[in-house]
Amino acid sequence: MNVIRPEDCPDSLQLTDAIDIAYGSVLGEVIRRLQSGISVLIECEKDLGIPVLVSLRARLKALQPPITTRVIAGRPAAGSDGGPPVSMTTAMYRELMTFVLNPGDNLPVLQHLDLLTSGIGGGVTDLGRDVVNLLYQDPSRVWLAFADPSLPLPEMVANAFPHRVSLLGVPREQIRRLVTRSECRKLGAVVPVAQLYKYVSGVNAARLRRLLSAIQGPDLPVSPEAAYRQLRQATLTGALSIPTVDLDRDIGGYDDLKRKIRKEILDILSRRDRVTDDGLTKDLESLLPRGLIFWGPPGTGKTLFAKALASALGAAIQVVSGPELKSKWVGESEENLRKVFLRARQSAPAVIVFDEIDSFAVRRGTHTGSGVEHSMVNMLLTEMDGFRKEELVFVVATTNFVESLDPALLRPGRFEFQLHVPYPDAAARRAILEVHSRTMRLDLTPEGLEHAVRRTRLEVPGAAAGTRYSGDHLNALCRLIARHRLAAGRDDATTVTDVDAALAEGRSVLVLDSAELRVVAGHECGHAVAGLVLAGTQLPERVALGEDLAGSLGYTQVTAGRRVRSVPELLDTVAVLLGGREAEMLLEGQFSLGSGHDLWLATQTARELVEVYGMGGPASGVCHYWKQDGRAERYPDLAPSTREALDAEVKSLLEHQRIRVAKLLAAHKPLVLGMRDQLVLDRAIDARGLAQLVRLLATGLEEVAVRLESLPITTE
């Protein structure tokens, strides 16, 4: 059974016994190699080195014939002239030279090979060069050496030892024998091995004994959580910490993504901690994806999801970025990466987050940098392939461009679990805003919340094209509202007005006189009325004057369209784009310069209909006239007559839609006028207001009014 019970544990346990239990088979192999004349390098932490050396010396002494050792450890010594003590490395070197001059039959033991040979950046010190010569000059001499895996060891030094072993953590199958009866009782009457091992998998046997003996608490507690928290806190190394981000409470929306994380990781681990069968435990561990990629636009919460995963696991988290790992020294970037994995394994359960991993792990053969990126990718793959299945170390990468990553990272067994974190949809934005309203004490009213959801469905004003509101943008919006409330000394609810004021913060304020307001309002109402009447367009749900877009005089917000659109729908779109210009002529008798962008979009759409989708007349036929390299331009070798025919068909299409929308607006002039006047007064009209105007000022549009009234407020 995969559990530990107090009655099965020893009353006491000596450290030497613990070392033999944890590493007995490995140390036995070390002895056999030394007997065979093979030098051995043992990589272990400093606090484990002495107990392991004591165990090895006892084993060597018990051989027939026995093998005696000469430990070279750099004991404090005075200078040759009786002066102050020399450095530890100098003392070790002197001991080593003394041994070389008078070796006898002793087996030399270099207790701190790393300190003796390693320099800055992983290079070899001056004394280290002499040590390297000694290691290589006599192939028949057998050496035993110790090195701490957290310290860089030059490759030329490590290569002098044909046999290397790494003593990191303890084998899970031996953990039950390393717990005394009193320690087990602190953890409960029945202790699942997987549950205990989760917190100590990266801890060496010497440190494990200290941690277990230091557990405080009652015997046979109802819940062992307090004891496990002590273990968890004691195993954190360096700057690692345990985040407190709750997957549900602190992250709004993204229900599908949360469901995948629970199903693929958290539920499997929860079941593994409960089972008592060794075989089933290993089967469950084999199902876990150890590498995850969160990819998507900036600011959508990819790193936040990684922190929530770590919180759910009770895992330490280490967030690193490519620039932090890179170094100008040869080999140091790879060494930095190795240390990241070492710290995580020592503090398991742990989550390593490589933020913006594409900064160094791009597709090999495509990067033009110094070449260190390729070495870092190789080191990353080596470290990930070296995980033991029972170790709870997860590697999470975040990137905006998953397609740029090296394919070797994406194969099964590495970053096989890829999760898309897109811009938040309406439901996610609502949930995110609710989280911030609660944590920042904004007390958003239901109307204010829905209004904020609606107002943040478009692109972010002033940002790069295609940038929509992300979780970071919503957080910034709520913080701005909170600052406004703090400055005003308010503790009441946050309303629609507060949301609009925050959204308008920092944007250019365009001051228009009454005549200009009337022209802009009429222009926008031309778009809106055309959109209400023409069946093939997206339904307008908000008309506003200069409040949403930086530098914009006004705009008309529409509901989301379908991905697959027909030719009549595209023609209606052209008509709506021309509706603002024609409304100006209808109401003012002249055109303003505000319709330039509308005319460009209409022309672009018309040209695509004719020259891309083959929807022109007989002169153009069913033919594609544009290049396929992503640029909107014709083939350069078209005949002049073909160019003239295409231009004529585009102009004809535009003129036909202009006449069409002009007649439509004239037929609904009372609605255009009434909507314009209302917009000048209110500065914004939402779907409900549009429905009221349609019922009051138009005929034959009852169905449109019903659709407006039933329109979901947060339609994406």
Look at the block and give the residue holding tokens 């010396």: 57
Pairing of strands 107-110, 69-72: parallel
Count, in order, helices (H) and strands (E) of the chain: 29, 15
- Distance in angstroms (rounded) separating the CA atoms of residues 419 and 257: 7
- Distance in angstroms (rounded) separating the CA atoms of residues 564 and 198: 51
Which pLDDT score, from 0 to 100, does residue 548 have?
47
H or E segment and range at residue 352: strand 350-355
Evaluate whether 510 touches 546 at the Cβ level (below 8 Å).
Answer: yes
Evaluate whether 526 touches 583 at the Cβ level (below 8 Å).
Answer: yes
Look at the block and give the residue holding tokens 């007989």: 618
- Distance in angstroms (rounded) separating the CA atoms of residues 716 and 713: 9
Kindly report the number of other CB atoms within 10 A of residue 103's CB atom. Answer: 13
Picking from 598, 596, 572, 584, the residue whose alpha carbon sits closest to that of residue 661 is: 572
Amino acid at 465: A
Which pLDDT score, from 0 to 100, does residue 709 have?
81
Which pLDDT score, from 0 to 100, does residue 379 have?
80
Which pLDDT score, from 0 to 100, does residue 708 have?
85
Picking from 576, 455, 590, 469, the residue whose alpha carbon sits closest to that of residue 524 is: 576
- Distance in angstroms (rounded) separating the CA atoms of residues 163 and 39: 6
Which pLDDT score, from 0 to 100, does residue 631 have?
57
Question: What are the DSSP E strand ranges found in 400-449?
Answer: 417-420
- Beta partners for residue 71, in sequence order: 109
Evaluate whether 91 touches 76 at the Cβ level (below 8 Å).
Answer: yes
Topology annotation, domain 514-709 = Methane Monooxygenase Hydroxylase; Chain G, domain 1 (1.20.58)
Amino acid at 498: D
Give, to the nearest 10 degrees, the angle between helix 687-697 and helix 702-709: 160
Indicate the domain borders of the chain: 39-161, 255-420, 426-504, 514-709
Q: How far is CA 16 from CA 112, 178, 197, 404, 639, in A?
A: 21, 11, 21, 51, 91
- Distance in angstroms (rounded) separating the CA atoms of residues 634 and 646: 11
pTM across the whole model: 0.69
Nearby residues of 54 by Cβ (< 8 Å), 6 or more positions away: 16, 19
Helix, strand, coil shares, percent, the chain, to 5: 55, 10, 35
497-514, pLDDT tens digit by residue?
888 888 877 665 556 678
Kindly report the number of other CB atoms within 10 A of residue 360's CB atom. Answer: 24
Topology annotation, domain 426-504 = Helicase, Ruva Protein; domain 3 (1.10.8)
Look at the block and give the residue holding tokens 């059974």: 1
Which pLDDT score, from 0 to 100, does residue 474 have?
93
Q: Which two tokens stand for residue 350?
A: 């742990």
300-357, pLDDT tens digit by residue?
999 999 999 989 888 888 888 866 776 666 667 777 888 888 888 888 888 888 888 8
Q: Helix or strand or coil: residue 442?
A: coil
Nearby residues of 431 by Cβ (< 8 Å), 6 or more positions away: 252, 253
Q: Helix or strand or coil: residue 235?
A: coil
Residues of the chain with pLDDT under 70: 1, 76-86, 120-122, 238-239, 322-323, 326-331, 363-373, 387-390, 458, 462-463, 465-466, 506-512, 546-552, 560-564, 628-632, 712-716
Topology annotation, domain 255-420 = Rossmann fold (3.40.50)
- Distance in angstroms (rounded) separating the CA atoms of residues 435 and 440: 8
Which pLDDT score, from 0 to 100, does residue 550 have?
44
Picking from 532, 535, 551, the residue whose alpha carbon sits closest to that of residue 543 is: 532
Which pLDDT score, from 0 to 100, does residue 1 have?
58
* Catalytic annotation, residues: 524
CA angle 418, 422, 427 (to 5 degrees): 125
